[in-house]
Structure 1
Amino acid sequence: MARLPYVDPETAPEVVRQVFAGLSGRLNIFGIVAHAPTLFGPLVALGDAVLVQQVLDARLRELAILRVARLSPARYVWAHHVQIALDAGVAREQIEALERGEFEVPCFDESEQLVLRFTTEVLRDVRATDLTFAAMVQRFTAREVLELLVTIGLYMTLARIMETTDVDLEPALAETA
């Protein structure tokens, strides 16, 4: 059970109601973040930018998000992003490897392993090593590197919000988790 009540869009301030009206679904995370009306809209917009407007390959984005979810740990992020990752072309074998905490295994190609190593270093150490960063800028554009950093940062933030407030999984996901 969540440690904060979920904001009811019907009784929320107008700015919050407007953001809720623009959402395609009612995820529990939105009901928690809506407690901060000045952050709610920008956070939703950032999430939209990360999920649908980046040039970074969606498979790589989802691998990074799942790595953040496992290392944080964040069960809500993991539960939501397994299917998104599958839809983006991530193989079930890769998801199972990430679930075990493995990423330097043959089911990941060099680019995927690099993104996962970069994600791990940024998450654990704040800063990627010079070696990893040099490999990233050699393989990816500056835009892709920054998009990946923002993705990692956003999901680190969301993981902390979700875990600290005990956001409940939606019933359909709770049955499969």
Structure 2
Amino acid sequence: MRLPPLDELTPRQAEISERIASRRGGTRGPFLVWLRSPELCERVEALGAFCRFESSLPLRLRELSLLIAARHFDAAYSWNAHADKAVEVGIPAESVQQLAQGVTPDFGDDHEAAILYRFSTEVLEKHFVSDETFAAGLAAFGEQGLVDLIGSLGNYSMLAMLLNTFQVDLKPGWTEPYPDVRGFAKVAPETATPA
């Protein structure tokens, strides 16, 4: 990581870190960067928690939206943290592999996943969505679902930019999910200090 470890936390940082750890099982990865700005960290963590745990979108689609943003920004940490979770909650492993390879995934009979992929990809790549894609998204997810999807994509995009800018280390044993992007296959060392 580009920043040194946080050896001593201020009382405010410690308070926020404890809250994050109680909800997420530890303070690691991006939160070790966000804590440099405690008030932003608190708000970002709350938004992230909503997007992951409380959004109106079904869990499999929440995980898929995270992977779409992670792949768009080539954010290896997010990808590694969620690729298996997406499969566990119903996104086909083949679709996840295709997404990692930069290929349009075939979601089979999961029309909602296909619509979410098309909607998300259009907004991330073109910065707009076509009338046809908007109508399909609205029919599939409703007004609240579309608003939650945009919130999720914004949150996960911000997360990806932070992970990439500060070069947050992969967890020990994780591999670079798309080595062609940076021209090397990176494997996090087994001896790295766990976050």
Structure 1 position 90, deviation (Å): 1.7
Structure 2: unaligned runs, 5 residues or longer: 176-186, 190-195
**Displacement after TM superposition at 1:51 (Å):** 1.0
Q: Is the 8 A contact 1:34 1:40 kept in 2?
A: yes
Paired position in structure 2 for 1:162: 163
Q: Which has the higher helix share?
A: 1
Residue of structure 2 equivalent to 1:64: 65
Looking at structure 2, the residues matched to 106 and 30 of structure 1 have their Cα atoms a distance apart, in angstroms, of 32
C-alpha deviation, 1:153, in angstroms: 0.6
For the aligned residue pairs, the C-alpha RMSD in angstroms reads 1.9
What amino acid is aligned across from residue 6 of structure 1 in structure 2? P
Amino acid at match of 2:158: T
TM-score, reference length from structure 1: 0.89
How many residue pairs get aligned? The number is: 174
For residue 48 of structure 1, what is the aligned residue in structure 2? 49
1:77-132 deviations in Å (ceiling 9; x for gaps)? 11111122123222211111211223353536322111001111111122222221
The amino acid across from 1:72 in the alignment is F
**Secondary structure of the structure 2 residue equivalent to 1:25:** coil
Q: Separation in 2 of the partners of 1:87 and 1:176?
A: 24
Gap runs ≥5 in structure 1? none
The TM-score normalised by the length of structure 2 is: 0.82
Q: Encode CA deviations 1:126-161: one digit per residue, 9 max, x unaligned.
A: 222222111111221111111111111111101001
- Note if 1:5 corresponds to 2:4: yes
Residue-by-residue CA offset, 1:38-76 (whole Å, 9 max, x unaligned): 101111111111111112011111112111111211111
Secondary structure of 1:124's aligned partner:
helix
Residue 171 of structure 1: SS of its match in structure 2? coil
Aligned partner of 2:192 in structure 1 is: none
CA distance in 1, matches of 2:138, 2:49: 25
Name the CA distance, whole Å, in 1 between partners of 2:71 and 2:124.
11
Distance between the aligned counterparts of 1:142 and 1:176, measured in 2? 41
The residue type equivalent to 2:148 in the other structure is E
Which aligned pairs between 1:1-177 and structure 2 lie closer than 5 A? 2-8=1-7, 11-22=8-19, 23=21, 24-103=25-104, 105=106, 107=108, 109-174=110-175
Judge conservation of contact 2:16–2:38 (CA < 8 Å) in 1: no
- Identity, in percent, stands at 30
Which structure carries more relative contact order (alpha carbon 8 Å, separation 6+)? 1
